[in-house]
Amino acid sequence: MDVLLLHGLLLLPLAALLLYRCSPHFQYLCKVAFFNCWIVAMATLLSPFAAFRGRSVDNMKLLRAALLPLKRFYGIRMRVRGAEQLQLQGPFVIVCNHQASLDLMGMVEVIPERCVPIAKRELLYLGTVGWACWLSGIIFIDRHRRDTAIEVISHTASTMRHENLRVWVFPEGTRNPGKSMLPFKRGAFHLAVQAQVPIVPIVISPYWDFFSSKEKRFTSGTCTIRVLPRVETRGLSPKDVPELTESVRQAMAEALAEMSMSDHEDQATEQSLLGLGDNRGRPQGQGDTARNGK
Ligand SMILES: CCCCCCCCCCCCCCCCC(=O)SCCNC(=O)CCNC(=O)[C@H](O)C(C)(C)COP(=O)(O)OP(=O)(O)OC[C@H]1O[C@@H](n2cnc3c(N)ncnc32)[C@H](O)[C@@H]1OP(=O)(O)O
Ligand SMILES: CCCCCCCC/C=C\CCCCCCCC(=O)OC[C@@H](O)COP(=O)(O)O
C-alpha cells in the first residue's frame, strides 16, 4: 500500500508536467496562478521593508523591482517606443489603456520616478497586497461613490504640485480586453486641469497574440508600449475637460489601432520566417466591440 502511495506521489509531478506541456488551458491556469502567487509573495516579503519607510512613493521602486522579472518568466519581450516623452521635469498625469492585470508588467517598464497609480479601493482588502499598495502611496478611490472619488482626485491635484508627484490613471476605469477602448472616465483629465499639469498618454499593444482570458491562452510574445506626445493643459478650465478627454482618447485609439495591425504583422512575419503557421492570432474583428459590462 505504502509503495503504491509513494509511486503515486512520484508520478504526480510528472503527470502535472505532461499536462502542462500538452494542455494550453492548464498552462494558462498555471501561469495566471503563478502571476497572482508572485504578487502575493512579493507583497508579503517586501512590505515589512517598505513599512520601515512608512507610506511613501519611494516604495514604488520596490514594487517596480518586484514586478520587473515577471516578463522573463513568461517570455514576454517588451518594446518601448517614445520613452523620451516621459523625460519631463515636474508633475504630470499618465493615462493608459487597461486590458488585464498583465498591464502591471507594462506599467513597471515605463513608470517614471515619483509616480503612483490610482486604483480601485477593493485592492486594499487583498491582505498583504493591499498593505503593499498602501505603503507604496497608491491612491485609492471608491468607484461606487462618485463624490468621495472626486474629493480624493481634487486632493491629489494639490498634492501633485506640492510634492512633485506623477499620477498614473487607467481612464477606462476597468479592464477591457476588447479591440477598441471603452469611453474614458473624466477623473484623470479633471486632475490634470486642476493641477495645470501635462497629460502623457501611453498605449499598450493588444495581448491577443499571447494572452486571452476568454480563450484561456497564455504563450510567449511581444508587447509594445508607445508613449505619445504630451498634451498641455495650462490655461484649460473644467469646461474644457470633455473635449480634452475626447481628443486624448482619439489619439490613443488611433495609436492602438495602428499597433494592433503592426504587432500582428510582426508576429506573422516572425512565424513565417520560422516556418510556422500563425495559429495564435484571433480572427479579424473578434472582440471589436467587446465590453466587459462593468
Ligand atoms: C512594496 C512591494 C510590493 C510588491 C507587490 C506588488 C503589488 C502590485 C499591485 C499593483 C497595483 C496597481 C494598481 C492598478 C489598479 C488599476 C485600477 O484599479 S483601475 C480602476 C480605478 N481607476 C479608475 O476608476 C479611473 C479613475 N476614475 C475616474 O476618473 C472617474 O471619473 C470617477 C471619478 C471614479 C467617477 O466616475 P463616473 O461617475 O463613473 O464617470 P465620469 O464620466 O468620469 O464622471 C461623471 C461626472 O463627474 C465629473 N467628474 C469626474 N471626475 C471629476 C473630478 N475629479 N472633478 C470634478 N468633476 C469630475 C465628470 O466630468 C462627469 O460630469 P459631466 O458633467 O458629465 O462632465
Ligand atoms: C485577507 C485576504 C487575502 C486575500 C488574498 C487574495 C490574493 C489576491 C491575489 C493576487 C492579487 C493580484 C492583484 C493584482 C492587481 C491588478 C490590478 C488590476 O488589474 O486591477 C483591476 C482593476 O484595475 C479594475 O478592476 P475591474 O476590471 O473593474 O474588476
Cβ of 120 below 6 Å from ligand 1 = yes
Give percent of the chain with pLDDT exceeding 90: 79
Residues 6+ apart with CB under 8 A from 96: 103, 106, 107, 168, 169, 170, 201, 202, 203, 204
Q: Is the pLDDT of residue 118 over 50?
A: yes
Cβ of 23 below 6 Å from ligand 2 = no
Reported as a single tens digit per residue, the pLDDT across 193-239 is: 999 999 999 999 999 999 999 999 999 999 999 999 999 999 999 99
| Secondary element (H or E) of residue 288 | none
Residue-level pLDDT at 41: 98
Which residue stretches of 54-145 are H helix? Answer: 60-67, 70-74, 103-110, 128-135
123 C-alpha to center of ligand 2: Å?
Answer: 6
List domains and CATH numbers for the chain. 23-268 (3.40.1130)
d(CA 132, CA 48): 9
Reported as a single tens digit per residue, the pLDDT across 228-287 is: 999 999 999 999 999 999 999 999 999 999 999 876 666 655 555 555 433 333 333 333
d(CA 195, CA 154): 9
145 C-alpha to center of ligand 1: Å?
Answer: 11
Residue-level pLDDT at 271: 55
Cβ of 27 below 6 Å from ligand 2 = no
Give the pTM: 0.89
Task: Map residue 105 onto helix, strand or coil.
Answer: helix
User: What is the position in ligand 2's atom list of the atom closest to the CA of 175?
Assistant: 27
Reported as a single tens digit per residue, the pLDDT across 232-245 is: 999 999 999 999 99
Q: Could you give the angle at which helices 24-53 and 2-22 cross, rounded to 10 degrees?
A: 90
Residues 6+ apart with CB under 8 A from 280: 209, 210, 217, 219, 221, 267, 271
What's CA 293's distance to the chain center, in Å? 19
CB atoms closer than 10 angstroms to residue 122: 12
Residue-level pLDDT at 178: 87
Task: Map residue 24 onto helix, strand or coil.
Answer: helix
Cβ of 244 below 6 Å from ligand 1 = no
Residue-level pLDDT at 84: 97
ipTM: 0.95
Cβ of 168 below 6 Å from ligand 1 = no
